Chains A and B, each alone.
Chain A
Amino acid sequence: MTSQTGAAPTRTAREFPFSRRGFLRDSACGLGAIALARLFVDDGLLAAAPSPLQPRDPHFAPTARNVIFLFQAGGPSQLDLLDPKPSMRQWDGRALPPSMAGDLELAFIRPDARIWASPRRFRRHGHSGTAFSDLLPHTARRADDICVVRSMTTDQINHHTGQLMMACGTPFVGHPSMGAWVTYGLGSESKDLPGFVVLNSGSGADAGSGIWSSGFLPSSYQGVPFRGTGDPVLYLSNPDGYSRASQRARLDALGDLNRMHRELSGDPEVDARIASYELAFRMQMAAPELLDFSGETRATLDAYGVEDEATSQFGRSCLLARRLVERGVRFVQIVHASWDHHAELEKGIEKESLATDKPSAALLADLRQRGLLDTTLVVWGGEFGRTPMVEDRTPSRQASRGRDHHRLAFSVWLAGGGIRSGQVVGRTDDLGLRVDEDPVDVNDLQATILHCLGLDHKRLTFRHQGRDFRLTDVRGNVMRNLLA
């Protein structure tokens, strides 16, 4: 049942079965957002029903079909990981000159804090010669698959707003996240799994569910968090005492009674509800297979570090991300927290790097080997970077040194899915304080990610409170220098 009849199709309506107006009408007649029309077609039900997650054509030919966003919450120190500054050594221990402090916005330290040159050793890797610090030995081996962007900037210096900015394009709560926008724009190829899956690793991000929210978009586009303990999806297991046979008997009785009601009421929405139960049952069957790593080789499990305590959480998430992408899930977001090293940075960053470096690299290698990297865009980054100046909460102890939040320059990396790999984009000044060349702000990064998926960030809009909103709000440019 479609409600498009009676209105001249607008440009949007042709592009998306769920134009704003179409959606309102559909909600109005109770059809609302149904799950996966493809399923209904397969099951011979409701052949004409528009579905929110039905695969849709992009605006133009894409270079990526899926996204894996490795969200490094807390603000990893780019100066100790991806942006080497050998010239900082001569400034080490000296206060930042007032002339350079300018309009610095800092969360905890003062603008005249002392500069702290990174204690890490950087080396160039691969044919491309991209530099990585000794904290990322495994990622470094994928140098030729990676495009490092050293010239990121953002508006926000606090975690919650910064994470929202990175995930949703604005610092305000209530806006849809990137995964929600992408599934709204493209639907999902997966028939028995959600289109946007969230995996959590580490201590949990400050913005909580805000960074996978569907905001003002229909709630079908919300990220579905797969949980680390218990059922991967909430309430996936049958209740106590229900075997597969009794669950099946329950669904058969329910289906029959619903069909009787369908006959009497004539309401096609009942078909959607019947189908949603069948999909739930299939999800119950598919999830154990998804989570069952027994078909993976020993080499793969070792590469991801699935069984090693330090890497197991992020490693499992990365391996799961690959398996989700293989099954057609459109957008996978792994949230790792936290890189918020105000104090004891050296100890903390070693721990987080150890937890994430090997699995991230394994993910790239594995995707590459399976031919999936060409169509899967992998993004690694957090909400902001950290200051070149030291944050010294216990000055008597050298090991207590940390760095403050820094929004004027930070680094992310991208790989696969149409990204020009083996290059470094952007340059920061000698202290890594500000961007000197090729600035990329958060909205630019988002516009570029959408571009890889074949979506024009200016045309992917949703009308809300009287105006058309988009992921990049009122800004954002596609960064051609990132693209292959």
Chain B
Amino acid sequence: MALARWLVSRENPLTARVAVNRVWQQYFGTGLVATPEDFGTRGERPSHPELLDWLAVELMESGWDLKALHRLIVTSATYRQSSDVRPELLEVDPGNRLLARQSRLRLSAETIRDAALAAAGTLDRRVGGASVRPYLPEGATEIGFGNFVQWPQSSGPDNYRRGLYIFRQRTLPYPQLATFDAPDSVQVACRRDRSTTPLQALILLNDPVFSEAAAALGKRIVADGGPTREERIRHAFRLCLSRDPTRAEVRRLLEYQKTQRRIFAAEAGSATASDADSSAWAAVASVLLNLAEFLFRT
């Protein structure tokens, strides 16, 4: 009890500093202290010490109200800045530690899956319940413990649950999560990497989970987008990026849809040939789900 009291005592600023720093990190990619796990002499110095202390005091005085802290941060002018990168800022502050702009952050492993399923309209938004085992290709379990890891694929809507519900098999990390830097389930991690690797590209391009999402999004574009191809592309942009496309973007995707339809139609007997137009819309959807802008919090 004495320890608990000491942890939240007004005389002890560390707990509140550490707490606000972790919340800050969620919104800006880097904490005010870049080493959230280490506030000691070997950790990094805070970039904005006064701000860190002010937020820490706000948190304590609000009665440790975390929701108020989140609101305080996301309604700030700093948070609401554009994330566009000006070349001169890149020169003087490449890591954006001084926060002259908002940071651009690649979404986390789970969120990328959720975002793709949400754009496709297939995301199952149920809260809670047992973990699920979405699709894994045949043979993928051969690397697990002693070759006898069982991965009975979930059925129906369970396959479309949020990434956070994916079962964490200790010796067989779910490939999509591991490839997008979800930490090993045995690691204590208060910060994740945000890597960019070719293996990520292969998953987003070729993993049936994402192909299926692209197919569903393609159908959705055609069904709800309107009669013209331009309108469909506009609809797809709003679904995926919450904005209208530029004229150049529309032109490029129209051209792509046509090219892909022609290639698909010419390859008789393939899975895409029978309905080349729908397949080409799915291919457009796949491009959108692979865009840097789709994968980034901008």
Residues in chain A within 8 A of chain B (CB atoms): 1-3, 5-6, 21, 24-30, 32-35, 52, 173-174, 194, 198, 200, 203-210, 213, 215-216, 218-220, 222, 224-225, 227-231, 233-243, 245-247, 249-250, 252-254, 256-258, 260-262, 264-270, 272-274, 276-277, 279-280, 283-284, 337-338, 463, 465-466
Contacts and interface: CB of A to CB of B under 8 A. Distances in A.
B46 to A, nearest CB: 13
B202 to A, nearest CB: 4
B143 A253 contact: no
A21 B44 contact: yes
B2 interface: no
B267 A243 contact: yes
Given A30-B103, A246-B263, A256-B252, A203 B147 contact: yes
Interface of B: 29-30, 34-35, 37-38, 40, 42-44, 83-87, 90, 93-97, 103-106, 137-140, 142-149, 170-173, 175, 178-179, 181, 184, 186-188, 191, 193-203, 205-208, 211, 246, 248-249, 252-253, 255-256, 259-260, 263-264, 267, 270-273, 279, 283, 286-287, 290-293, 295-296, 298
Contacts of B203: 234-235
Contacts of B263: 243, 245-246, 249
6 contacts: A24-B44, A204-B144, A234-B203, A235-B205, A254-B291, A266-B85
Given A3-B94, A225-B143, A239-B206, A174 B187 contact: yes
Contact of A200 (B40, B138, B143): B143
Given A258-B291, A266-B90, 16 more contacts: A24-B35, A25-B30, A27-B191, A34-B196, A204-B145, A219-B178, A227-B139, A229-B139, A233-B199, A236-B202, A249-B283, A258-B292, A265-B85, A267-B292, A268-B85, A284-B202
A465 B181 contact: no
A280 B196 contact: no
Given A28-B97, A253-B287, A261-B292, A240 B271 contact: yes
Contacts of B148: 204
A351 B196 CA distance: 43
Nearest to A218: B193
Nearest to B91: A5
A59 B195 CA distance: 26
A229 B137 CA distance: 10
Contacts, number: 277
Nearest to B272: A241
A237 B94 CA distance: 37
B104 A265 contact: yes
Given A227-B142, A241-B270, A30 B194 contact: yes
A243 to B, nearest CB: 6
A203 B146 contact: yes
Given A2-B94, A243-B267, A173 B198 contact: no
Nearest to A245: B263
Nearest to B83: A265
A276 B193 contact: no
Contacts of A262: 292
Given A33-B193, A206-B146, A269-B104, A250 B270 contact: no
B189 to A, nearest CB: 8
B230 to A, nearest CB: 16
A32 B171 contact: no
B295 to A, nearest CB: 7
B84 A266 contact: yes
Nearest to B184: A174
Contacts of A267: 83-85, 104, 292, 296
A233 B142 CA distance: 13
B87 to A, nearest CB: 6
Contacts of A234: 137, 140, 175, 199, 202-203, 207
A204 B149 CA distance: 10
Given A28-B29, A234-B137, A250-B205, A241 B106 contact: no
Contacts of B191: 27
B195 A227 contact: no
B42 A276 contact: no
In the complex, which of the residues A220, A230, A245, A249 has the most CB atoms of chain B within 10 Å of its own CB atom? A249
B172 A208 contact: yes
Contact of A250 (B137, B142, B267, B287): B287
A314 B20 CA distance: 53
Contacts of A250: 205, 256, 260, 283, 286-287
Enumerate the 7 nearest inter-chain pairs by beta-carbon distance, A residue then B residue, closest first.
A208-B171, A204-B147, A241-B272, A28-B30, A241-B271, A33-B195, A229-B139
Contact of B106 (A2, A32, A229, A247): A32
Contact of B211 (A3, A203, A239, A279): A239
Contact of B291 (A230, A239, A257, A272): A257
Contacts of B202: 233-236, 280, 283-284
A222 B93 CA distance: 30
A227 B147 CA distance: 13
Contacts of A268: 85, 90
A225 B184 CA distance: 16
Given A3-B94, A28-B34, A238 B270 contact: no
Contacts of A34: 195-197
Given A29-B103, A174-B184, A257 B260 contact: no
Given A30-B106, A207-B171, A283-B202, A266 B87 contact: yes
Contacts of B199: 194, 224, 233-234, 280
A356 to B, nearest CB: 17
Nearest to A2: B94
Contacts of B173: 209
Contacts of A21: 44
A234 B136 CA distance: 10
Contacts of B34: 24-25, 28
A230 B8 CA distance: 55
B252 A257 contact: yes
A254 B287 contact: yes
A463 B191 CA distance: 14
Contacts of A258: 291-292
